[in-house]
Structure 1
Amino acid sequence: MAAIRPLDVIAKKWTQVTPLRAEDYKFGIENPKKNWEEEAVKANNTYVKAVTAAAQAGRYAGGIKRAGLKKWQDRALKKGPGRFSEGVMIAGPDYEEGFAPFHAEIERVDLPPKLPKGDPANINRVAVIAKALHEKKLALRK
């Protein structure tokens, strides 16, 4: 069986620790690894296929281009940092409820043996978890 901490311990830590990350949230907006506007426009086709009929009509990329990186950063910085910690604390029970089926799935997984550090076969342990979690996600969406 895969080892994982109890669900309530994970949820409590998330609720206590994540609100302290507001500065990290702000930093990420101010210093994106890639240009938000460019990357979001490049992702338009995937978004169109996966998300909404509005995106299928091309409105997703159009809205991004009209806003641009600076407007996105400005609005996110004005609204986000102050709401982040409170939102995480409010969402604690939702986080626990939403993660519960995946936590239970991880507990059920039989992992292949752990091999010496650096052994390429160790990725099989990740693959087993990834497959189980993906199947759980699909099952929950039925």
Structure 2
Amino acid sequence: MNIPSAQVIAAKWARVTPDRIEDYSNGVRNPKNDWAKETADAEERYEEGIKKAISRKAFGKGVKRTGTANQQEATIQKGIPIWPERVRMAQGAMAEGMEDVVQTLSALQLKPRYATGDPRNLERVKQVADALHQMKISRS
């Protein structure tokens, strides 16, 4: 089969895809199928895929294939420039996501605090960890 090289394919993709932002936007705003329904319906397939990936140790293999240097370079080039804007955009979602945490921690009656280094202070840490864990598992 006669096919262009990976470099030629990637160059064309990088050249033409950014101009398709309107198509991308329309697809997100007017999807053919409901994302939540389709995603929920895929749970069994997702679980099967995860189990298969675990059995072939795909995660670790992918990490080794990518390597630290590639991960850092991609993050430096793509992640750092958009970090401030994306954090600001997520403020509302952060507030919403923290609401349960704030309510859970506000409702705690912590055990007394002892002198610095007293091992009994770890009971306070355990109270917080247990409450947050219970909150997390009750969400699902």
Aligned residue number for residue 104 of structure 2: 105
In 2, Cα distance between the equivalents of 1:54 and 1:71? Answer: 26
In 2, Cα distance between the equivalents of 1:126 and 1:109? Answer: 11
What is the number of residues matched between the two proteins?
92
In 2, Cα distance between the equivalents of 1:98 and 1:71? Answer: 31
Alignment of 1:1-142 (within 5 A): 52-53=50-51, 55-56=53-54, 57-141=56-140
Shift of 1:66: 1.4
Q: Deviations over 1:16-39 (max 9, x none)?
A: xxxxxxxxxxxxxxxxxxxxxxxx
What's the TM-score, normalizing by structure 1? 0.59
In 1, Cα distance between the equivalents of 2:85 and 2:52? Answer: 31
In 2, Cα distance between the equivalents of 1:121 and 1:99? Answer: 28
What's the TM-score, normalizing by structure 2? 0.60
Contact 1:54 1:60 in 2 (8 A): no
Pairwise CA RMSD: 2.0
Relative to structure 1, the CA distance from residue 76 to residue 130 in structure 2 (aligned partners, 3 Å threshold; closer, same or farther) is same
2:96 partner letter: E
Q: Select the structure with the greater relative contact order (CA < 8 A; seq sep ≥ 6).
A: 1
Contact 1:111 1:128 in 2 (8 A): yes
Identity within the alignment, %: 29
* Higher Cα radius of gyration: 2
In 2, Cα distance between the equivalents of 1:74 and 1:89? Answer: 24
**Consecutive aligned runs of 4 or more in structure 1 exceeding 3 Å deviation:** 52-55
Runs of at least 5 residues in structure 2 that lack an aligned partner in the other structure:
1-49
In 2, Cα distance between the equivalents of 1:98 and 1:119? Answer: 33
Shift of 1:53: 3.7
